[in-house]
Amino acid sequence: MADLACLATAPLSFMGGPRSSRAIRQSGASGFANFEAEIGGKWLEILKEVAPAVTRAAVLLHTQTAANVAFLRAAETASTSLGITVTGVGVQDAAEIASAFEKFAAPDSGLLVMPHFVTVSNRVLIGELAIRHRMPTVAAFRFMAASESLVSYGVDVVDLFRRAASYVDRILHGAKPAELPVQQPTKYELVVNLKTAKAIGLPIPQAILARADEVIE
């Protein structure tokens, strides 16, 4: 049962941050990675594409979570070519999230929300503050966009757990998790919340709408 539990937590780990394939391998378990660090740069690229006027981006993250820090570093690497100044903002509760909005809200500012229990559990607050301060916001999961963040881009969570079922079956039939290869995400989804776009007065480029897997209206 310990082996099975170890696998079951591999697809998603909100409490401690997302799992990379390297982290899963080092743990001696197996499973399905949900992100690699480089996606931090992709989130910043999407922010710039959605809101070309953005020249500053605050990055909400949990600084004690290595994966969140890795995403920030990837965003910083991408920032020069995108013409955006990136600032990491460590948050541990709702009050610090609200404070970050007050400090960084400006006509040329946007927001990246790193996936962590702190941000996930405060997703409604983040969505409300993003609209109040008119900050275009990019997050990792669809349910963040559904909670009024402007855009989400990340793995299809349902697809991950469907694929994980086959590994659970193999473990129940005697396979050892450490002997099963770590699987990379194969399905990503781009979600745009048009209601939020209208609320903050931001027209979404047609190129983004054409690529979106879902548009929330």
* CATH 3.40.50.2300 domain span(s) along the chain: 39-154+188-216
Beta strands in 24-175 (DSSP E): 56-61, 85-90, 109-113, 137-139, 151-155
Residue 1: C-alpha distances to residues 23, 33, 174, 202 (Å): 21, 21, 11, 50
Q: Report pLDDT for 158.
A: 66
Q: Percent of the chain at pLDDT above 70?
A: 74
What is the per-residue pLDDT for 175?
A: 72
The mean pLDDT value for 64-85 works out to 95
CB atoms within 10 A of CB 93: 11
Enter the pTM of the model: 0.79
Indicate whether 29 pLDDT > 80: no
* Reported confidence tier of residue 207, pLDDT bands at 50, 70, 90: very high
pLDDT of 11: 38
Q: What is the mean pLDDT of residues 180-189?
A: 71
E-strand stretches of 68-213: 85-90, 109-113, 137-139, 151-155, 188-193
pLDDT of 74 > 50? The answer is yes
For residues 187-205, average pLDDT: 95
Task: Check pLDDT > 90 for residue 188.
Answer: no
The pLDDT value given to residue 40: 94
Q: Tokens 């757990």 identify what position?
A: 161
What are the percentages of helix, strand and coil residues in the chain, rounded to 5?
50, 15, 35
Give dist(CA 39, CA 49) in Å, integer: 15
**Tens-place pLDDT, residues 125-177:** 999 999 999 999 999 999 999 999 999 998 876 666 666 666 676 777 777 77
Please, what is the average pLDDT of the chain? 83
- Could you tell me how far CA 173 lies from the centroid of its own chain? 34
pLDDT of residue 2: 32
pLDDT at 35 exceeding the cut of 70: no
Angle at 196 between CA 193 and CA 201, to 5 degrees: 125
Query: CA Rg, the chain, in Å?
Result: 18
When the candidates are 3.40.50.2300, 3.30.110.30, 3.40.50.300, 1.10.510.10, the CATH number that belongs to 39-154+188-216 is 3.40.50.2300
Beta bridge partners of 138: 112, 151
